[in-house]
């Protein structure tokens, strides 16, 4: 008789570039998002939701890597053989939404949105294929005041999250200045779109790779530590020198690069943004011009901005790390035009939620949430589960988190379960307590502290850690235990 072949078991494994999120991390994130939402709404932005999946052609040619599905984005075909893609940011779906609903929207249209986005790119340390963004955009306003406002919004948001002045900076640049530089080295026009995008991506890595790394990406290409090679822009040494000079130049932009009309216009817009920011009280320690800011996506047409944490940040081993930008964005006046045929000015910022939370945690601003677990009602007699369920329900009705133990273990296993759940206390009622109409409430937080005390102090405090009360007074006594450990 042949042996029966068991079906192959799937391997429990997490896809590369993705991550699971713990309850504490979720609560910490939700607390941070609530503060961001409050600042965004104080500026008059309203919430909007768009689907995670869009038609690939609606995302357009502005993909993170290559101009076709499954390069830079995750794509698949539907039943009608049309390409669909997971959104790679929240801006392209906004452009589609505005174009589709343009006639009924107020102008300017101001919206914020939070949600996950996906990038089909090589994962690495701190670089994930799924992450959450929190965006704010103003559509229908061409004034530099709209761009200046977003820079101020970024500063106000970081401060609302506990980042002190001097621990962050908002950096501003204008793609028109770089466009003028690129035109001066014969990289203008539609024929050079690929090279320009390669240049943008190279400059966008200046903070991380430094001048040597950027020069390699402007030239033949660069091999990273893993041995993978990134194809370069293929510029000549003379062209690359001018690009690097531009990136290093902060002062005298007009004198150095203002001869090109488009560059001069970009410098005018930068000066106007700074003028408006300074008038509103945002000095050079909060908002500055930085020529290395270009953003890696093609759709930006004017001012671009990034905010980064400048305070020292270390990894788990205490080694200093560069976090990069936690807020970024810019003006994209041509994105909606793809749908409508008419130019619609638009500008926005995006917060990288996970990266910002990581940075805040490293600065001691946010830890994983210390929210207490639920009160656990133990089951000593399985024939009396309705009685125990009634106790749990009484606690819930009083707005106290509570759960009935639903496992199969005995008292010791149940106590261990409550400890792992982070329960502040447990409710115990055996036959003896039931006959007397009483319940025991065991304070697990205080009980854990008692183990560090000497015998006399332990005996003195033990009565507080486990009390016997009338069942009718269950809620008020549990509430007293919770109040004892609040905060």
Q: What per-residue confidence (pLDDT) applies to 65?
A: 45
What are the φ/ψ torsions at residue 440 (nearest 5 degrees)? -100, 140
What are the φ/ψ torsions at residue 182 (nearest 5 degrees)? -65, -40
Task: Identify the CA nearest to 484 among candidates 429, 452, 428, 441.
Answer: 441
Residue 381 near residue 431, CB atoms below 8 Å: yes
Q: What per-residue confidence (pLDDT) applies to 367?
A: 61
E strand intervals along 158-295: 168-174, 221-223, 229-231, 287-289
Total domains in the fold of the chain: 1
pTM attached to this predicted model: 0.82
Q: For residue 212, with 0-12 CB atoms within 10 Å meaning exposed, 13-18 middle and 19 or more buried, which class applies?
A: exposed
- pLDDT for 3-49, tens place per residue? 667 788 899 999 998 999 988 889 899 999 999 999 999 999 999 99
CA distance 40 to 453: 49
Tell me if 455 is assigned to some domain: yes
CA distance 468 to 438: 7
Tell me if 383 is assigned to some domain: yes
CA distance 342 to 350: 25
| Selection from 227-236, 285-294, 326-335, 363-372 with the highest mean pLDDT | 326-335
Tell me if 362 is assigned to some domain: no
Reported as a pLDDT band with limits 50, 70 and 90, residue 86 is very high
Tell me if 404 is assigned to some domain: yes
Tell me if 406 is assigned to some domain: yes
Tell me if 391 is assigned to some domain: yes
| Structure-derived torsion over alpha carbons of residues 175, 178, 179, 184, reported in degrees to the nearest 10 | 170
399: domain range?
A: 375-484
Q: Which residues pair with 328 in a beta bridge?
A: 306, 350
Which residues have CB under 8 Å from 441's CB, separation 6+? 425, 426, 427, 428, 466, 467, 469, 474, 477, 478, 481
CA distance 307 to 320: 19
Report the mean per-residue pLDDT for the chain: 87
Task: Say if residue 70's pLDDT is above 60.
Answer: no
CATH number at residue 415: 3.40.50.800
Tell me if 347 is assigned to some domain: no
| Selection from 61-75, 186-200, 203-217, 341-355 with the highest mean pLDDT | 341-355
Tell me if 421 is assigned to some domain: yes
- The alpha-carbon radius of gyration of the chain (Å, integer) is 29
Alpha carbon distances (Å) from 396 to 114, 140, 178, 406, 411: 31, 48, 60, 17, 23
Residue 198 near residue 64, CB atoms below 8 Å: no
């Amino acid at each position: 008789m042949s042996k029966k072949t068991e079906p192959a078991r799937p391997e429990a494994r997490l896809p590369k570039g993705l991550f699971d999120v713990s309850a504490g991390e979720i609560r910490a994130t939700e607390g941070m998002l609530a503060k961001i939402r409050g600042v965004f709404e104080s500026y008059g932005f309203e919430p909007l939701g768009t689907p995670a999946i869009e038609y690939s052609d609606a995302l357009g040619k502005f993909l993170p890597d290559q101009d076709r599905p499954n390069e830079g984005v995750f794509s698949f075909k539907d039943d009608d053989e049309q390409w669909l893609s997971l959104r790679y940011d929240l801006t392209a779906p906004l452009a589609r939404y505005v174009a589709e609903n343009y006639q009924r929207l107020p102008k300017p249209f101001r919206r914020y949105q939070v949600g996950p986005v996906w990038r089909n790119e090589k994962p690495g340390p701190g670089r994930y294929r799924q992450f959450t963004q929190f965006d704010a955009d103003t559509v229908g306003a061409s004034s530099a005041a709209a761009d200046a406002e977003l820079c101020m919004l970024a500063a106000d948001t970081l401060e609302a999250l506990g980042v002190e002045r001097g621990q962050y900076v908002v950096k501003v640049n204008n793609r028109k200045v770089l466009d003028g530089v690129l035109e001066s080295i014969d990289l203008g026009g539609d024929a050079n779109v690929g090279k320009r995008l390669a240049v943008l991506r190279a400059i966008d890595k200046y903070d991380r790779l430094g001048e040597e790394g950027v020069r390699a990406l402007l030239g033949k290409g660069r091999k990273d530590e893993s041995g993978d090679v990134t194809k370069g822009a293929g510029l000549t040494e003379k062209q690359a020198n001018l690009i690097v000079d531009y990136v290093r130049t902060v002062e005298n932009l007009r004198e150095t690069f203002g001869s090109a009309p488009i560059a001069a216009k970009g410098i005018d817009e930068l000066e106007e943004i700074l003028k408006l920011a300074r008038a509103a009280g945002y000095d050079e320690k909060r908002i500055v011009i930085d020529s290395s800011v270009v953003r890696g996506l093609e759709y930006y047409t004017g001012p671009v901005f990034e905010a980064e944490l400048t305070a020292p940040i270390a990894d788990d081993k205490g080694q200093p790390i560069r976090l990069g930008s936690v807020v970024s964005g810019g003006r994209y006046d041509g994105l909606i035009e793809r749908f409508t045929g008419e130019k619609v000015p638009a500008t926005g910022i995006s917060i990288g939620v996970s990266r910002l939370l990581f940075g805040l945690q490293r600065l001691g601003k946010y830890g994983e949430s210390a929210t207490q677990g639920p009160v656990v009602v133990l089951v000593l007699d399985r024939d009396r589960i309705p009685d125990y369920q009634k106790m749990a329900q009484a606690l819930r009705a009083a707005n106290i988190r509570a759960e009935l133990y639903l496992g199969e273990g005995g008292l010791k296993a149940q106590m261990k379960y409550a400890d792992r759940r982070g329960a502040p206390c447990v409710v115990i009622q055996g036959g003896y307590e039931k006959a007397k109409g009483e319940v025991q409430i065991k304070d697990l937080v205080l009980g854990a502290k008692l183990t560090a005390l000497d015998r006399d102090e332990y005996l003195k405090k033990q009565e507080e850690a486990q009390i016997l009360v009338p069942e009718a007074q269950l809620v008020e006594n549990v509430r007293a235990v919770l109040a004892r450990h609040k905060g």
